[in-house]
Chain A
Amino acid sequence: MTTKTVVSMVLVVLLLPMTAAAQKKGSIELRSISEVEVATTNAKGEKEVKRVDAAASKVIPGDVVIFTTQYANVDKKPAENVVIINPVSEHVVYVENSAEGPGMKIEFSVDQGKRYAAPDKLVKTDAKGVSRRAAAREYTHIRWTLGKPLAPGGKGSVSFRARVK
């Protein structure tokens, strides 16, 4: 193994997480998108808010990023018990009430995905054993559960907003 090949391997390792991915394993297709809203003025002088790929935009601490997951059943059979899980990255904080998903039951976790519950039933227990309702900023994972089978060709998307720490 030459130095050159090692260097290029290292580069490949570094580049891997950068590539946004649409994966097709099995027969559900999943796509993750991260976007920011950019305010612009159009040709008519009206203010518009556009969504721009976060990787092709300026993102600094304090900015809000919209994470969207698109799903599609590309098989010929219905998919049952479809569940999507989004971990909330350690560098961002979930924005309260921002999770959306038509036809989905939305639940959150504050313990790295061990347990999920609706916001009003999520509790955090401190060292003294005192429990309180968990704050949105403490959410570590979001779980979306589709209530009915996803028909062949069926698709949809779920999204949430998070602020960069």
Chain B
Amino acid sequence: MKRTTRYILTAFIALVILAAITERPARAAGTPAGVTISGQATATYDYDASPQPPITAVTSFVVDRKIDPIVTTTNNSYVSVAPGPASQALTFRVTNNGNATQDYSLAAANAADPFGGADNFDGANVRVFVETNGTPGYQAGADTATFIDELVSDAATTVYIMADIPAGQATDDIAAYALLATAHDGGAAGLGALTAATAGANSQLGVDMVFADAAGPADGARDGAHSAASAYRVAGAAVTLLKSAVAISAGNQPVTGATIRYTIAVTVSGAGTAAGVVISDPIPVNTTFVAGTLTLNNGLLTDAADTDAGDVNGTTAGAVTVRLGDLNSASPVQTITFEVNIN
């Protein structure tokens, strides 16, 4: 029995020391739940000009558990998406502004457009994942958790809503979603039980559960949950042409008989794909195309309308035509050149 006694005493002393070490002043989320706050008063006084022993009185209460998740989006504006691709991400932060470790269940809900537009389509295959591997951005197969486990007081974590954007969605279409985080009890691995507020106005013995969260687009105030919305907007692709001309014959002057080389640079910007891009450029009046000078990205093209990408005076009479196919913002700049003689 003596040995057991010693163990218990040692454990108790260790607990007291641990409590002293882990004590930290002023934290944003506040005094941890379960801490006892004491108010002490000491009075001193004299009787017949002789000081009396000081008298003290103490009052104390226990700090209850504040449940206050805060959800924000890190998207400053619309997430630009093209029609068609799978697994596009909206990015959120979930912060535990309460004073105890919590788990959070997560859900994506349809929402009004937080950026002022009108939500008019839904993504497909909508899922929610927690940033798991620490690498910024969603990585398929790596960011797999679907709830937040053991988020300590004051800590925050990144959460993604993933959706597939339907093909054929028109430019400027908008799909808005809210991320809803709902508090569950922390303390063990896995999603704990739904945290329930302590009912009634009066405290029960021990630590009460107090919802202190604000309202979000998909939840009310003091409901143990919070939400924030972000949105996808379909962006089309913009094709930009830059045409320049250089006199390449002797003297470099654009005089009669001189040879001019035209260069057309084609770039695509925006989130979408420009499908079946065809460049058609009329041969200027009073000039004659120099046979065998049409190139695409430094590769010679035949002048005839055949299997290669370009032709002259074939697809369109009196014009150079080059078929560039599907291009997006990741495609390299497409460079077309051809030469003409000034008549």
**0 or 1 for each of A13-28: is its CB under 8 Å from B? (1 = yes):** 0000110111101111
Judge if B21 is at the interface, Cβ distance under 8 Å. Answer: no
CB distance from A48 to the nearest CB of B (A): 12
**0 or 1 for each of B43-55: is its CB under 8 Å from A? (1 = yes):** 1111111001101
Contact status B8-A20, CB under 8 Å: no
- How would you classify the secondary structure of chain A's contact residues: helix, strand, loop or mixed? strand
- Residues of chain A in range 21-79 having any CB-CB distance to chain B below 8 Å: 21-23, 25-34, 38, 40, 52-62, 65, 67, 69, 71, 75, 77, 79
> Looking at the complex, which one of B44, B46, B62, B63 makes contact with A61 (CB distance below 8 Å)?
B63
Contact status B64-A59, CB under 8 Å: yes
CA separation between A75 and B35, bound complex, in Å? 37
Contact status B59-A57, CB under 8 Å: no
CB distance from A109 to the nearest CB of B (A): 13
Contact status A79-B46, CB under 8 Å: yes
> Looking at the complex, which one of A26, A54, A69, A92 makes contact with B52 (CB distance below 8 Å)?
A26
Contact status B201-A77, CB under 8 Å: no
CB distance from A22 to the nearest CB of B (A): 6
* Interface size class, chain B: 35 or more
> Looking at the complex, which one of B49, B56, B65, B212 makes contact with A30 (CB distance below 8 Å)?
B56
Judge if B125 is at the interface, Cβ distance under 8 Å. Answer: no
In the assembled complex, which residues on chain A have CB atoms less than 8 Å from the CB atom of B61?
34, 53-55, 57, 59, 65
Contact status A61-B66, CB under 8 Å: yes
In the assembled complex, which residues on chain A have CB atoms less than 8 Å from the CB atom of B52?
26-28, 79
Q: How many residues of A contact B (CB 8 A)?
A: 57
> Looking at the complex, which one of A20, A54, A85 makes contact with B58 (CB distance below 8 Å)?
A20
In the assembled complex, which residues on chain A have CB atoms less than 8 Å from the CB atom of B66?
60-62
Q: Which residue of B lies closest to A5 (CB)?
A: B5
Given A7-B8, A10-B8, the answer on whether A80 and B39 have CB atoms closer than 8 Å is no
CB distance from B123 to the nearest CB of A (A): 38
CB distance from A98 to the nearest CB of B (A): 13
Contact status B63-A18, CB under 8 Å: no
CB distance from B214 to the nearest CB of A (A): 13
Contact status B49-A60, CB under 8 Å: no
Contact status A79-B45, CB under 8 Å: yes
CA separation between A84 and B197, bound complex, in Å? 39
> Looking at the complex, which one of A23, A52, A81, A87 makes contact with B44 (CB distance below 8 Å)?
A81
Judge if A89 is at the interface, Cβ distance under 8 Å. Answer: yes
Given A22-B57, A55-B61, A91-B63, the answer on whether A77 and B30 have CB atoms closer than 8 Å is no
Contact status A89-B37, CB under 8 Å: yes
CB distance from B296 to the nearest CB of A (A): 67
Judge if B99 is at the interface, Cβ distance under 8 Å. Answer: yes
In the assembled complex, which residues on chain B have CB atoms less than 8 Å from the CB atom of A33?
59
Given A10-B12, A80-B46, the answer on whether A60 and B64 have CB atoms closer than 8 Å is yes
Q: Which residue of A lies closest to B35 (CB)?
A: A91
CB distance from A64 to the nearest CB of B (A): 12
CA separation between A83 and B12, bound complex, in Å? 37
> Looking at the complex, which one of A7, A30, A58, A67 makes contact with B43 (CB distance below 8 Å)?
A30
> Looking at the complex, which one of B9, B43, B210 makes contact with A60 (CB distance below 8 Å)?
B210
Q: Which residue of B lies closest to A40 (CB)?
A: B201
CA separation between A67 and B31, bound complex, in Å? 18
Judge if B297 is at the interface, Cβ distance under 8 Å. Answer: no
In the assembled complex, which residues on chain A have CB atoms less than 8 Å from the CB atom of B40?
32, 86-87
Contact status A67-B56, CB under 8 Å: no
In the assembled complex, which residues on chain A have CB atoms less than 8 Å from the CB atom of B27?
165
In the assembled complex, which residues on chain B have CB atoms less than 8 Å from the CB atom of A95?
none
A-B contact pairs, 15 of them (CB 8 A): A3-B5, A17-B36, A18-B60, A26-B47, A29-B55, A34-B59, A52-B201, A52-B202, A55-B59, A58-B201, A60-B30, A60-B66, A61-B29, A165-B25, A165-B26
Q: A57-B61, A86-B39 are in contact. List 18 more A-B contacts (CB 8 A).
A: A2-B5, A18-B60, A20-B58, A23-B57, A31-B57, A32-B40, A54-B59, A60-B66, A71-B43, A77-B48, A79-B46, A81-B45, A82-B43, A84-B41, A84-B42, A87-B40, A165-B25, A165-B31
Shortest 8 CB-CB distances between A and B: which pairs?
A: A61-B30, A60-B66, A32-B59, A54-B61, A69-B41, A55-B61, A32-B57, A30-B57
